[in-house]
Structure 1
Amino acid sequence: MSAPPKKQTLGYEESGSDSDEDQSENEEGMEYTGDEEIQVDFEGRSPTDSDYHGIKQLLAQLFLKAHLNLSELTDIIIGQSNIGSVVKQSGAGEINEDDDDDDDDDLMGVFAVTSAVSLSSKKKVEVVQQLRSLLVELSSSHATEECKTFIKTAIEDADAPLGLIINERFINIPPQLAVPILQNLSNELKKAVEKKEPYNFSHLIFICKLYKDEERKGKRKKMQDDVIWSNPEEEIIDQMADYKFEFCVKDEVDSGLSGNWLSGDDTMIPYRRVLIIEANKFDSVIEQIKIAVQR
């Protein structure tokens, strides 16, 4: 029998409204307007086999139509039992840790996944080869010469291993959850390094989802692009990044935020931004995220 998954109660109550009005006003039979408060408690756990489809779904919304073996990437994330977490709703199903039956886990959807995948020690694995090639290819087309040179050199430098940070969740999950999850990941990486496991990264790579206001013909260009980050905390990572580049994925998705835009709204175009930071800055980045989400 496998060891029970570690758990971390996140205890966040999500509000879908900016108003503090008494919820008793929401009488039975009233039409749902999207302004009602929804209180949800989450918990972080080690990924298990029962999380396979949920994790793969989250990876698919990040990588879209990129030529990647997402099944294999999902297996890597689950196989790293001491690295990474999934976020599930607390109380959605009681897990009997003395039972190998995963039926209860199947009832609990995966709302988020956070992990780290070595692009160096696992370079012989097919999906890691694909990720390495994808980064070189995308940077060649979209990055500055400095960034392009760094990625090409770092990919081949065995003495400066690269770690890909997976930080993916559904869009309505609050950024406050990022702090304990990222802190936990940082601690896990440190413990793994102490055990001489191959997670002593030189740099960390983040692939972030963002959306920009489409420039329309005849529309005055704004001084600064309107940008919406799918994971707001990643704007902090962007500010502290050593290298970055972005590319449009408009042709790979059906619509900007996978929702219906009102006729008066500007069209939002989906992008991916690749951020690279020195690994020794990870804790500082997390601290800045913590400060930002508490404002």
Structure 2
Amino acid sequence: MAKRKANGDDKRPTRDKMDVDGEEEDEDASLIDVDFEWFDFDPEIDFHGLKTLLRQLFDVDNDLLDLSELADIILAQPELGTVVKCDGKESDPFAFLTVLDLHRYQEKAVMKQLTQYLQQRTADVEGIRQLREVLSSNSKSKLGLILSERLINMPHQVVPPLYNFLLEEIQTPSPKGSSEALTHYLILSKTYEEVASKLDAGEERPAKKKKASATSAAETFYFHPEDEALQKHALAHCSFDYAKQGDEGASDSKRAFQDLGVRPQGHLILMDAMKFRDAVKAVESYLGYPS
């Protein structure tokens, strides 16, 4: 199924505009028109671009998983998922979204790695009993893992079409088998916390250290803003530390153009399949649907 249509009858978005100056108040600010096109996965074209986006999604833990095998699994089911491109079908993807039936692929080595990884990373996280239950080996739930990533600075308006396409596809019978019978969806994403710089603290050398409030908690920020809408429909959600998080100096290395360091974390959102349509509509309302 080709998602890009060239004629005027196509009601699916094919264009967005980005302000390259970042100065909305300037009437003379330059605008560049970028054609965003939605395509099915193509194993002959998309392997390397998809693998690059998967590395970005798993951040510092990317080498703990066989991402080549994961990319192959995604590309082997082109009836589920979408890539976004700017220079035609032959170009590399700038964004993607797909769902993987964990039961269907449970014997794949990378799926065993991924399930074990998620179980280990969330083992000490409180308040996510339902998440642990659906990830357990004896679970009766049929879990679909939603993976999505995009290049930094991609306009968030490309996201609602990705979810709308997926919603259509999981409800369309496929000769290779679809995810229509899934009972739950697990969305893997990323968040981050801002961390005070140890370098600045060393330079200032205050006479007395301030005591941190016992009740204060670090604010969570979202790499994917749609997560805020999605988790309002969730059974459970949590952020988790990466296995290769690094020391505090790693946060300082990620603070270009700002005073605070950045501490990335993985993020999971568990959703009942019956709530997925409402969640997709919420994403569309929250981010806006491009015309």
User: Above 0.5 in TM-score?
Assistant: yes
Partners of 1:167 and 1:291 in 2: CA distance: 19
State the 1:141 CA deviation. Answer: 2.9
Match of 1:138 in 2: 121
For the aligned residue pairs, the C-alpha RMSD in angstroms reads 3.0
Change (3 A) 1:124 1:252: farther
Partners of 1:257 and 1:84 in 2: CA distance: 36
Match of 2:8 in 1: none
RCO higher in structure (CA 8 A, sep ≥6):
2
Whether the aligned pair in 2 keeps the contact of 1:121 and 1:198 (CA below 8 Å) is no
State the 1:215 CA deviation. Answer: 5.3
Match of 2:19 in 1: 15
Match of 2:203 in 1: none
Change (3 A) 1:258 1:14: farther
Match of 1:284 in 2: 278
Change (3 A) 1:143 1:57: farther
Letter in 1 for 2:51: K
Partners of 1:115 and 1:236 in 2: CA distance: 18
Aligned ranges for residues 265-276 of structure 1 at < 5 Å? 265-276=259-270
Alignment partner of 2:15: what SS? Answer: coil
Match of 2:69 in 1: 72
Q: Structure 1: any 5+ residue segments left out of the alignment?
A: 26-35, 96-104
Query: C-alpha offsets along residues 121-149 of structure 1, whole Å, 9 cap, x if unaligned?
Result: 11011111112212222221334362464
Q: Structure 2: any 5+ residue segments left out of the alignment?
A: 5-11, 198-208
Partners of 1:47 and 1:258 in 2: CA distance: 35
Partners of 1:115 and 1:46 in 2: CA distance: 10
Partners of 2:27 and 2:233 in 1: CA distance: 41
Query: C-alpha offsets along residues 170-220 of structure 1, whole Å, 9 cap, x if unaligned?
Result: 121112111111010011001037986354211101111111122577376
Letter in 2 for 1:52: F
Partners of 1:44 and 1:257 in 2: CA distance: 37
TM-score, normalisation: structure 1: 0.78
Counting aligned pairs with the same residue, the percent is 25
Match of 1:218 in 2: 210
Change (3 A) 1:197 1:267: closer
Partners of 1:253 and 1:57 in 2: CA distance: 26
Change (3 A) 1:172 1:239: same
Change (3 A) 1:230 1:137: same
Match of 1:237 in 2: 230
Whether the aligned pair in 2 keeps the contact of 1:246 and 1:273 (CA below 8 Å) is yes
Partners of 2:77 and 2:263 in 1: CA distance: 34
For residue 168 of structure 1, the aligned residue among 123, 140, 149 is 149
Q: 1:87 and 2:79 equivalent? A: no
Partners of 1:164 and 1:257 in 2: CA distance: 32
Tell me which moved more, 277-286 or 58-67.
58-67
Match of 1:28 in 2: none
Q: 1:111 and 2:56 equivalent? A: no
TM-score, normalisation: structure 2: 0.79
Query: C-alpha offsets along residues 7-28 of structure 1, whole Å, 9 cap, x if unaligned?
Result: 26431112242415344x7xxx
Partners of 1:137 and 1:204 in 2: CA distance: 19
Match of 1:45 in 2: 39
Letter in 2 for 1:21: D
Whether the aligned pair in 1 keeps the contact of 2:19 and 2:32 (CA below 8 Å) is yes
State the 1:160 CA deviation. Answer: 2.1
Alignment partner of 2:165: what SS? Answer: helix
Change (3 A) 1:245 1:252: farther
For residue 150 of structure 1, the aligned residue among 105, 125, 133 is 133
Residue correspondences, number: 264
Letter in 1 for 2:109: E
